[in-house]
Structure 1
């Protein structure tokens, strides 16, 4: 019995996914933000008269983002509008200068709104994710609310924005509102495995392990090969006392994705489980389980 309790404590204290992890599709890297989100309608083509300049700016971001800031700033002064501001935001993102990046995206959204440009919702989302990356969840919520207020927003994109807003609400400690946002997202993007993954993570935070198990199983059905989903499934199984299933899932991640953050967390969890199984002294009193110590999440989504 004692080794089992020690193993349970090990699962609860070993590395695991963040309590509400970032949505990997929302990474604020230039490569991801230069293209429309999966759930969004196709982005309007860049006008031919500025296409070369826009592409040159994006290429410069990958090579020398500091020079891209200079280029985009000059282009903005010359009337480059939302395209110049988007390039400016991407350059700041490349340097992890989150506040000016968010400000550039917000102004791009306002320019797009004035021009009735459908990209304005995506700019607001990019701004919100930059604010989240900069530890400004209150400003992130305002940006996500602006995105949700955009007319004719598609249901898939609306669902994705609710997921982003939920992450901001968790950062603010507002779990009830985060749950409302995630439940709304599940209605709109029920086939999205990341929505179920985030819902399971929130349920775990809410100490609702039954719902956490139900939701992570659904995520696994939709994305069986996703190491982050599988890692969280292992953690939830362990917290429910199913150590054999936890070990099986951790091993699957450790062997299938050894060089990822999830793979390294799974390897650490397996090592901890082995230690308590081998080293637990007979008759020793088990340590009291404590809340999981989560690793710092990546700087952020979209």
Structure 2
């Protein structure tokens, strides 16, 4: 009897382990994200086990990253969206990043309308730096092109290049879309900005050739395509430039 009472008293004094600190969550999240790159299947198991153990938003974020690494795009988008909604309800600063990740997963999974909705959620929340906001507008523009909202995409790219003027990709995409919309003055202006920021990029040289060809300047077009083909012959841009040199014109929809 006394032994049972002593055991009960000892059990009553057991202190439950303290919940993991934010630093511990962060460290485990970094390990899980690194595992997702090496072995996404194991990372999915790790993230689910972590979630059961109280990993919360960080565990769900890692699950989405691992699903994306396996190109399980709808599942990844759903994971990020669910976590983002809960983070938003809890007023967690993670909500912004989770909505951005949800949008990128949907975009990769060929669901541009779903992607734009996620990007809109991210843009509606506080906490985005100009650089992050510029990235969201750039990705939103890609989704806009995919849903055939070219004017909306054009406005998004204008905002992206205003917020992150040193990113050559934003200027390249703006030049490409302007050419497709037959706004050649803007296309020339944007591609010059892109080339000034990244003069050896074959994609920029290829697009410069396309814009020159669209304006009827075949000599300048061939010179730009030659630069692209010689700079990176095995790249997509280099191969496309080589084909353009053979045919004498750029594809209708590059």
TM-score by length of 2: 0.83
- Equivalent residue for 2:80, pick from 105, 108, 113: 105
Q: What is the aligned residue count?
A: 234
Q: Which moved more, 1:137-146 or 1:193-202?
A: 193-202
> What residue is the counterpart of 1:206 in the other structure?
181
Distance 1:200 1:54, change over 3 A: same
Deviates more, 1:51-60 or 1:139-148: 51-60
Which residue of the other structure, out of 93, 96, 119, is the alignment partner of 1:121?
A: 96
Structure 2 stretches lacking a partner, 5+ long:
1-20
Aligned to 1:252: 227
In the TM superposition, what are the counterparts of 1:1-302 in structure 2 within 5 Å? Answer: 47-273=22-248, 292-294=252-254
Do the aligned partners of residues 207 and 68 (structure 1) sit closer, same or farther apart at CA in structure 2, a change above 3 Å counting? same
Whole-angstrom CA distance in 1 between matches of 2:51 and 2:143: 30
- After TM superposition, the runs of 4+ consecutive aligned structure 1 residues lying more than 6 A away are none
Greater RCO (CA < 8 Å, at least 6 residues apart):
1
CA RMSD of aligned residues (A): 2.2
Query: 1:101 Cα shift?
Result: 0.8
In our comparison, the structure showing a higher alpha carbon Rg is 2
Compute the displacement of 1:160 (Å): 2.0
Provide TM-score, normalisation by structure 1: 0.71
Separation of aligned partners in 2, 1:225 and 1:118: 38
The offset of 1:171, in angstroms, is: 1.0
Cα distance, 1:138 vs structure 2: 1.2
**Is this contact kept in 2: 1:54–1:84, CA < 8 A?**
yes
- Tell me how far apart the structure 1 counterparts of residues 31 and 215 of structure 2 sit (CA, whole Å): 53
Point out the structure with the larger helix share: 2
Identify unmatched segments of 5+ residues in structure 1: 1-45, 274-288, 295-302
